[in-house]
Structure 1
Amino acid sequence: MRKLALVGAVLCLGLAGCDSATVDSDSGNDTSVAPLSREKTSEESTTSSSESASRSASSSQEPSESKDDSKDSAEPRNGSGSANSPEDRGAREISEIPSAQLPKEEAAYLDSLKDAGVNVNGVEDQLLGAGQGACGEDEITIPAVAGQLIEQQRSDKDFDELTKLLQDNARSALC
């Protein structure tokens, strides 16, 4: 019984010693983040960008810096850089998603399908993907897309005619 009590006491002391192995945050080295400033008006931003441009021009003319100047230059300046540099802005509500301009080949492919009587509105990406698949040895995608276009009543052509139209136009415009 004494051995069991001794083993229990040793284990308790061993576990108590492990308690101080954890990291405590009482070191006093608290860090803080500087608050973000509000977005400037356009008049203020042009003033600050012209000031920063004149600061950068004057600093490039003076190659030697004192210790005080080097300490100031290490801190980030608001509005520093060129007037054309991108800046962070807050979130803004948009009314519609901007559309990307299609390359000439892709636009020509879609136009040729429109001219042949296929309604391509809303399925442009699928048609372009299928058309690019026709450039390789993909013989499945074009017939599948042709079947979908017929079922969605986007074309009044029969299956074989629409499949041939998609393949021929894709190979001439995209490949």
Structure 2
Amino acid sequence: MNKNATQPWRSGLIRGGAALATATLLAFGIVACGDATVNSEDVSSSAKASSSSAGAASESAEKDKPRSTTSKEPEINEPGAKRVDEAPDGQMPLSEADGGYLDDIIAAKVDVAGIEDQLIGAGRATCAEIPEAERKAMADAMAGQLIAQGRTKADAATVASAIAKAAKKAYC
């Protein structure tokens, strides 16, 4: 038997309580959001007051410091650290095989500037011990990228063939 059928006041109380709770939560939400806006005048006036008092303190501290006419670089205290004049170029050093491979790619009229590492990786993958279809796919993919980047005017088959030949000569 249904309890609500024997106690009809219970369902009305539950509905009324839920409505009251919802109304209360909405009221608190509206009140909580009521005065959360900040006017720029409030911020400007308080920022001016803080900066003027902080500014006065820092000005007096600056006047007390002796001024140096020469700028000196900070000392390096880390063991093994040294100062360098310029950052490294980020390219891996080329082996003789890598140089020959890139020369063959350049001879195929491909601009390799800045992507030498990627070309070398593709060339080595072309000679990896994987099925021939996968090695061909590697050369085809690299050729497609070179054409899409505008690094050659040759067609994809010619570039893929040049990559595969150069890789076999250098790495296989």
User: TM-score, with normalisation over the residues of structure 2?
Assistant: 0.47
Structure with greater Cα Rg: 2
